[in-house]
Structure 1
Amino acid sequence: MRHTTPADEHGQAAVSVQGVHKQFGDLVAVKDLDIDIRAGEFFSMLGPSGSGKTTVLRMIAGFEEPTSGRILLHGQDVTASAPFDREVNTVFQDYALFPHLTIAENVAYGLTVRGISKAERARLVGEALEQVQLSHVAERRPSQLSGGQRQRIALARALILRPKVLLLDEPLGALDKQLREQMQFELKQIQREVGITFVFVTHDQEEALTLSDRVAVFNNGRIEQVGSPREVYEFPQTEFVARFLGITNLLAGDAALAILGESSPHSVRPERVQIADPAAPATDGTISLSGRVLETVYAGAHTRYLVETESGMRFISEKQNNQSPRTDPVQRGDTVSLRFERSHAVAVPGTAVAAPGEPAAV
């Protein structure tokens, strides 16, 4: 299946991966992959370790050559081209800054190699550092900067060469949570300003949803689904996507038939499942299930509840902590009513029906 997308002004995708297969000995890392990425898009490749996403990035960069298939950049076949002959640049997780050079010298390195004049280098470096808001550290060494600052310098060094495509291999993975979230906003803002195609590899679901125009979800060397963050989260097309992108209650087989009136698999996200007083009447179109709270998990912005229904199915419910009580009114052991709108149970077409005896909800 080819995952196509609107082309650029010349009728071409910025990156086109056509029938690409990559094998390392007996290991098949990527299986007959087809995908187009448009110019100016922030495109994320999301998946667990070993799913093939980094191998695809390395093939686009030229660090690996496909076993078969083609890679085109803006319509030009670069499958056999060396990395330095491609109009791409790569930002790595480990920053790869030269410790003996100043920040300004690090950012200017690519320009120096290309023989750009000293005066022009100084002007471009100044603009690049201004763009990442680090002009004041130009004369420092990398060891004198924080992790977030080093990552921004690595980004400035990559962008100063104005590549047509910027490849980012888990660039925020080494940062702590707070700094990573801050850098997500900065990275997206920079991408919008420069208008360059970003191809971003991550295993962090929240990061992919936050940053991307579109997300490709990888599994076992294949793409399970491509779409906007909203599409892949709200309308997963396979069980893997439903489970990998957050938490879901997956209903299938007899459980789906009993609750929804049809046996085909459906996904209900925990935030769609509300906990109510069993005595309160349910509105039309609402599915109501009686159950007992097995566990509660307080996670700051939200609280999750594991509830077992009278028929033995287990559901996860999640509520935002948008009020400030000192104690949660719902406690472990409470008898509650689980409620969700029938329309919030989304069909998952690429999921096999659960066999008898398998868990109906997760």
Structure 2
Amino acid sequence: MTTAALATDADSDAAAPGSVSLSGLTKSFGDFTAVRDLDLHVAPGEFLSMLGPSGSGKTTVLRIIAGFEEATSGTVRLSGVDVTRTPPHARDVNTVFQDYALFPHMTIAENVGYGLRVKGTSRSERVEQVAESLRRVRLDHVADRLPHQLSGGQRQRIALARALILRPQVLLLDEPLGALDKQLREQMQIELKQIQREVGITFVFVTHDQEEALTLSDRVAVFNNGRIEQVGTAREVYEEPQTEFVARFLGLSNLIGAELAQELTGTRRTMSIRPERVRMLGASDALADGDVGLTGTIAEIVYTGPATRYLITSDAGVDIIAERPNAHHIAGLDVPRRGDRVRAAWNPAHAARLP
């Protein structure tokens, strides 16, 4: 889905199959308000991630869309139909959970076909659809096994196949990769994106993993304290954060206060600059045309594998993180060390201006 398509006025596809529209959504539990007057539109066929820390309200919103929680106020529309008070089984959505929720006594084929059996689908049609669904997740060879005989990644793919076989208009995913180790999780991210593209179903995905959200999503909704701080493409929320929370939550960011920013650029607005946009120069090196910089001392060095991060304590009293790809290094040559005097430089055009 192109950025232009996503930017289309939400009203134009609000009634299209697979759309999700939340308006004025509020959910309170006693004196605690988990979601506050929230508006969100998900386009048909879009992969939207709801990203935020624990307690930010993202899972509550997912449960309200699914019908597992009832909104205190506001409306939920699926494909243009108001389902705010509709029970879960009557909504054309399905949910994939982190704990897989597979029936331990059933074979994989029986697990995947369970929803079709409940719907009364004939055995011959059920067998055909189960085989197709297992092929889609590349696990047709395990049809006769039991869940405990599969790895965590395989069980997660089976849970996905079971949800997709009913062909819901919207698939809700509640941190489905959270229980997997890093390598398997990254592999599953690629597979999940491919499957979503193949089936063309709207995916609404909950995660607290920033990298996961940026990797998978057409758009990301960043949650904080029951509200959405920003909605945009992965590039927009990372490169152009609209609030300090978004700048800090999505990866590392250097925040330059308004007063210092005015000294450097003449504009009195807080700047957010990503570490990979910061270059390290010798303390006496001249700045490139248009660049600004702060001189300081390297206080810490962190090796991350693909890159090395340098924490620079500037003379202005502001800590700056610079990141250099390790591919650019020649072993033993020109390697900065703790205590070195350096200049952190960047182009103000690469910095986001925060309110």
Matches within 5 A, 1:168-183: 168-183=173-188
Distance verdict in 2 for CA 1:212–1:181, change over 3 Å:
same
Equivalent position of 2:152 in the other structure = 147
Q: Deviations over 1:206-246 (max 9, x none)?
A: 00000000000000000000000000111111110010011
Shift of residue 320 of structure 1?
A: 1.2
The Cα shift of 1:11 comes to 5.3
1:200 and 2:188 matched: no
1:102 maps to what in 2? Answer: 107
CA distance in 2, matches of 1:163, 1:26: 35
2:343 matched to which residue of 1? 337
Partner of 1:354: none
Q: Which residue of 1 aligns with 2:352?
A: 346
Q: Closer, same or farther in 2 for the Cα pair 1:63/1:141, shift >3 Å?
A: same
Q: Does 1:255 align with 2:260?
A: yes
2:50 to 45, 49, 72: 45
Q: What's the counterpart of residue 355 of structure 1?
A: none
Contact 1:7/1:14 (<8 A) preserved = no
CA distance in 2, matches of 1:7, 1:147: 41
Answering whether residue 331 of structure 2 is matched by residue 326 of structure 1, we say yes
When the two chains are superposed, the root-mean-square deviation of aligned CA atoms in Å is 1.6
What is the deviation of 1:323? 3.5
Of 29, 36, 42, which residue of structure 2 is paired with 1:31?
36
What is the identity percentage for the equivalent residue pairs of Structure 1 and Structure 2?
62
The answer on whether the counterparts of 2:293 and 2:345 sit within 8 Å (CA) in structure 1 is yes
The one-letter amino acid of 2:54's match is S
Compute the displacement of 1:344 (Å).
1.4
Q: Which residue type is aligned with residue 133 of structure 1?
A: R
Stretches (4+) displaced over 4 A? 9-13
Q: Does 1:114 align with 2:119?
A: yes
Mapped pair 1:274 → 2:279: yes
Cα drift, residue 286 of structure 1: 1.2
Shift of 1:254: 2.0
Q: Given residue 318 of structure 2, which amino acid in structure 1 is its aligned partner?
A: M
| Correspondence 1:8-27 to 2 at 5 A | 8=13, 14-27=19-32
Point out where structure 1 has 5 or more consecutive residues left out of the alignment: 350-362
The CA deviation string for residues 22-68 of structure 1, in whole angstroms up to 9 with x for no partner, is 00000100001111111000001000000000000000000000001
Partners of 1:13 and 1:36 within 8 A in 2: no
Q: In structure 2, what residue type is equivalent to 1:24? A: F
The alignment status of 1:185 with 2:204, answered yes or no, reads: no
CA shift in 2, pair 1:348/1:59, >3 Å? same
Aligned to 2:68: 63
Q: How many residues align?
A: 347
The two structures have a TM-score, normalised by structure 1, of: 0.93
Q: Distance in 2 between matches of 1:13 and 1:123?
A: 25
1:88-99 matched pairs, under 5 angstroms: 88-99=93-104
Name the amino acid aligned to 2:77. Answer: L
Aligned partners of 1:5 and 1:13 also within 8 Å: no
Shift of 1:78: 0.6
TM-score by length of 2: 0.95
Is the contact made by 1:4 and 1:36 (CA closer than 8 Å) also made in structure 2? no
8 Å CA contact retained: 1:104, 1:125: yes
C-alpha separation between the residues in 2 aligned to 1:213 and 1:7? 18
CA separation in 2, counterparts of 1:80 and 1:9? Answer: 19
The reply on whether 1:165 has 2:170 as its aligned counterpart is yes
SS in 1 for 2:185: helix
Partners of 1:71 and 1:314 lie apart in 2 by 45
User: Matches of 1:147 and 1:45 in 2, distance apart?
Assistant: 23
1:285·1:341 contact (CA, 8 Å) conserved in 2? Answer: yes
Greater alpha carbon shift after TM alignment, 232-241 vs 254-263: 254-263
Question: What displacement does 1:10 show?
Answer: 5.4
- Aligned mates of 1:53, 1:267 — CA distance in 2: 25
Alpha-carbon shift at residue 279 of structure 1 (Å)? 4.0
Q: Residue by residue, what CA displacement relative to the aligned partner does 1:241-279 show, whole Å, maximum 9, x if unpaired?
A: 010011111112322122222221111111100111234
> Could you tell me whether the CA contact under 8 Å between 1:43 and 1:199 is conserved in 2?
yes
